[in-house]
Homo-oligomer: A and B are copies of this chain.
């Protein structure tokens, strides 16, 4: 923040960008339209309540492709099309069971659990093993085969609740979920429990991808709720605890799927593309309302608002709904590969994948060679965006658009308030009820305003 304020000082005293009343007026119109004629909320309502969770390869993911394609067709933009990609096809199968067995303190007790994406099934009748708690990946290496063979490893380092940016707290803990099970498997562990990725203490388990590099590293892995993680940890202080796990997951053959793309062709610089996007897939539990239905409908609504305001862009505005962000990013890779092959140039790409909460600004990233120049220009727009509570900061953009970095445009991550995101992330409660209509619409307006400025002034 301090850095930005200094930049902003410079911009007051020395910059070349003259804030125009026309811009302030048009941005006001964008906000008014998004807040009173926006389509983001009804689209999200439909996508979540009528389609639901949209895991790659699922019938719901296919339905979401068709639904958003049809809705984008109604906008009378220049083109709407699908782009093929081949996605991993993991299925959860029947409800997982995870149970403490024969504890002196609690007897036999079910734990709130969900299998992690990519996890395999247990043996048909499940597995039972002693639990070893660890706080880090380092501890796995210290324990080694002597400490882990035949055991279920329990990764229990919490997300740090004192981090104000909850994404930073997530970044500090998610390695346990991503690499924990495979690393434990290398030392002979037979299963993994991972504390859910949230700062809340509650009964809601959070899924998400776990990774492995060879088939023998893939062991049954589940997330358990934070309340049950606390309970299990307490028990382990006083007794050896055995846990029973039964999962039914399968990795099936990859399946054809699609990115959904719609664009308004630029009138002066059609070859300079401004991308707005989110990811259409979600986890299978819950309805993927914040992650990332919100980002998709906001990206769609950017086109809707610009069309409604009869704005004729100089540059090409392209909405891309990426498939398979959650467990492979096959859609993002197909998109960037095709784009590079066609020699396209993305002047800017803006991804919304941090939930539909009150906007706070954008993170910006880009190739070193051009970042400073382009970012300097963006920061000069702050006087137009600060009245709406928006700022810029340097930082990662988004999992799908990062593949476009080599095209040397500027990559933005839409940055909403992060406080509630990890209450819902990858859970059964990520549903429309968790999304506030007005907060969602303000996100559409923030992104549309940035698109407008980039389109008008370039970078």
Residues of A whose CB lies within 8 Å of any CB of B are 1-2, 5-6, 8-9, 12-13, 28, 31-32, 35-36, 161-162, 164, 199-200, 358, 360, 383, 386-389, 417, 419-420, 423, 436-439, 442
Q: Is there an interface contact between A9 and B5, defined as CB atoms closer than 8 Å? A: yes
Given contacts A1-B386, A5-B5, A12-B6, contact A164 B419 (CB under 8 A): no
Distance in angstroms from A391 CB to nearest chain B CB is 10
Looking across the interface, which residue of chain B has its beta carbon closest to that of A202? B437
Give complex CA distance A442, B418 in Å: 12
Q: Is there an interface contact between B438 and A199, defined as CB atoms closer than 8 Å? A: yes
Select A36's contact among B32, B162, B387, beta carbons within 8 Å.
Answer: B162
Select A358's contact among B8, B383, B417, beta carbons within 8 Å.
Answer: B417
Give complex CA distance A6, B8 in Å: 9
Give complex CA distance A36, B5 in Å: 31
Select A200's contact among B2, B388, B437, beta carbons within 8 Å.
Answer: B437
Q: Is there an interface contact between A164 and B389, defined as CB atoms closer than 8 Å? A: yes
Q: Is there an interface contact between A360 and B386, defined as CB atoms closer than 8 Å? A: no
Question: 20 new A-B pairs (CB below 8 Å) besides A35-B161, A420-B436?
Answer: A1-B387, A2-B386, A5-B5, A5-B12, A6-B12, A9-B9, A9-B12, A31-B162, A32-B162, A36-B161, A164-B389, A164-B442, A199-B438, A200-B437, A358-B358, A358-B419, A360-B389, A419-B436, A419-B439, A423-B436
**In the assembled complex, which residues on chain B have CB atoms less than 8 Å from the CB atom of A8?**
5, 9
- Sample of 19 A–B contacts (CB below 8 Å): A1-B386, A2-B383, A5-B9, A6-B12, A9-B9, A9-B12, A31-B162, A31-B164, A32-B162, A35-B162, A161-B438, A164-B388, A164-B389, A200-B437, A200-B438, A360-B389, A417-B417, A419-B436, A423-B436
**In the assembled complex, which residues on chain B have CB atoms less than 8 Å from the CB atom of A5?**
5, 8-9, 12, 386
Distance in angstroms from A361 CB to nearest chain B CB is 10
Looking across the interface, which residue of chain B has its beta carbon closest to that of A1? B386
Distance in angstroms from A420 CB to nearest chain B CB is 6
**In the assembled complex, which residues on chain B have CB atoms less than 8 Å from the CB atom of A436?**
419-420, 423
Looking across the interface, which residue of chain B has its beta carbon closest to that of A166? B438
Give complex CA distance A31, B164 in Å: 9
Give complex CA distance A71, B28 in Å: 47
Distance in angstroms from A269 CB to nearest chain B CB is 31
Per CB-CB distance, the 3 closest pairs between chain A and chain B, nearest first, are A9-B9, A1-B386, A32-B162
Q: Is there an interface contact between A420 and B437, defined as CB atoms closer than 8 Å? A: no
Looking across the interface, which residue of chain B has its beta carbon closest to that of A437? B200
**In the assembled complex, which residues on chain B have CB atoms less than 8 Å from the CB atom of A438?**
161, 199-200, 419-420
Distance in angstroms from A80 CB to nearest chain B CB is 29
Give complex CA distance A89, B386 in Å: 45
Looking across the interface, which residue of chain B has its beta carbon closest to that of A418? B358
Give complex CA distance A274, B36 in Å: 42
Give complex CA distance A28, B389 in Å: 24
Give complex CA distance A35, B158 in Å: 14
**In the assembled complex, which residues on chain B have CB atoms less than 8 Å from the CB atom of A164?**
31, 387-389, 442
Looking across the interface, which residue of chain B has its beta carbon closest to that of A445? B164
Give complex CA distance A200, B440 in Å: 13
Give complex CA distance A28, B358 in Å: 24
Distance in angstroms from A459 CB to nearest chain B CB is 23
Looking across the interface, which residue of chain B has its beta carbon closest to that of A417? B358
Give complex CA distance A414, B417 in Å: 18
**In the assembled complex, which residues on chain B have CB atoms less than 8 Å from the CB atom of A161?**
35-36, 438
